[in-house]
Amino acid sequence: MRARQEKLRHLYEGLGVMDVFDRLDNYPTENDRGNSDTRQSRLRRRSELLAEIAMLEAKKPWFEESYARAIALLLLLIIASPAVR
Task: Tell me the pLDDT of the chain (85 aa) as tens digits.
Answer: 688 889 999 999 999 999 998 888 877 766 656 567 888 888 899 999 999 999 988 876 666 667 777 888 888 888 887 766 6
User: Considering the entire predicted model, what is its pTM?
Assistant: 0.61
| Among 55, 39, 56, 43, residue whose Cα is nearest residue 15 | 43
Task: Name 61's Cβ contacts closer than 8 Å, sequence gap at least 6.
Answer: 1, 4
Query: For residue 56, what are the CA distances in angstroms to 6, 18, 52, 83?
Result: 11, 20, 6, 43
Distance CA 2, CA 78 (A): 32
Helices vs strands, H then E, count in the chain:
3, 0
Q: Where are the domains of the chain?
A: 2-60
